[in-house]
Amino acid sequence: MSSKPRLLALGLRMPLSSLLEVYGGLYSLLGSEFEVKEVTQEHDALQWLQRPSDYVAVLITDGAIASADGKRIPHKQVCLKLQQYLEQGGTIICCGYMPSDLTTQAHEVFPKVFGVPWHRGEYIRSTFQLNPGTCLGSVGLPAMYSMKASHLGGVNPQDQALYTATNDSRVESFVFAPTPIDRSKNEFPAAFTKVFSGGHVGYVGDMNSEHPSSQVVLAMCRFARTKANAATALAPGVAVAACNGQEGKTGQGGDQPHVCLRCGQSRPKMRLCGGCRKVRLCSEECQRASWPQHKLVCGKQDS
């Protein structure tokens, strides 16, 4: 059994063998520090997502969970589990074929499941510089490099955009003129941010598996590993319960306590969601705060 921390690579459309044709360098780099567990079937994904303490981050490697028409969420139960994972402090990283699978409508997965107002932007190559203002910091990240990427709009340029165009950035193409990048669009090739009460979402839009982009994904995974280790060290019982969403009786028989979907706290009396009956909340305030996002995958309709 591997002693390395595990990453869960979720690709319900594209098998790992296909990913390795383009992203072999990424998986080789990740494999130097992590065990990468590939999951390609929905029932396997649901089983693994029930055990989030068994991995430090989830890689979304294709767009299977993104809708083709923006009106529905495919793999709804998987999306529910992913949202719970984020709300309980997990880290999700969108990479591989995920950016290329984002159609104009499919980007709805970001606000509906991940809780961020990001949307699909332009697809261009240029040279971008690191923004050290995100919670990811700058350690282990390339200061500047060229990438051909599917950009995201709706990203906060101060603390979410991981790489940004400079005043000197130009379109890099053998076909199109080297026009300056329109920075007023606020579209970015990579992003990382905190969501809900402690989860994190990362995005690397590189289409060509540039080595510096693999380093960016690795840095996100290292961040997730450090966060998971710190949570376990500070509060082992609560951290495990918060990650696992365990259903043990609070304070009885040595079982792990229930934890709030929104804030991760445990109370003597917890509210069970009447829609999915899978998550609990500690107060009316947390129930109201979590509902706008949770309702999208809960199954309960507004009355």
Mean pLDDT of 74-95: 91
Architecture of domain 6-231: 3-Layer(aba) Sandwich (3.40)
Please, which residues have CB within 8 angstroms of residue 49's CB and are 6 or more apart in sequence?
Answer: 8, 58, 78, 81, 82, 84, 85
Mean pLDDT of 202-206: 96
Domain ranges of the chain: 6-231, 258-302
What is the pLDDT, as a whole number, of residue 299?
60
* 74-78, 179-183, 235-239, 252-256: which is most confident: 179-183
229 — pLDDT class (breaks 50, 70, 90):
confident
- Name residue, tokens 């074929």: 97
What is the pLDDT, as a whole number, of residue 69?
55
- 151-163 in b/e form (b: 16+ CB < 10 A) is bbebbbeeebbbb
pLDDT digits (tens, 9 = 90+) for 162-200: 999 999 999 999 999 999 999 999 999 999 999 976 899
CA gap 63, 68 in Å, rounded: 9
**Residue 124 scores a pLDDT above 50:** yes
pLDDT digits (tens, 9 = 90+) for 18-34: 778 888 899 999 999 99
Smallest CA-to-CA distance from 8 within 95, 80, 108, 67 is with 95
- 97-106 in b/e form (b: 16+ CB < 10 A) is bbbebbeeeb
Smallest CA-to-CA distance from 100 within 132, 73, 49, 66 is with 66
217 — pLDDT class (breaks 50, 70, 90):
very high
Q: How far is CA 221 from the centre of its chain?
A: 11
**Residue 122 scores a pLDDT above 70:** yes
**Residue 111 scores a pLDDT above 70:** yes
**Residue 215 scores a pLDDT above 70:** yes
CA gap 140, 215 in Å, rounded: 7
What is the pLDDT, as a whole number, of residue 236?
41
CA gap 136, 149 in Å, rounded: 20
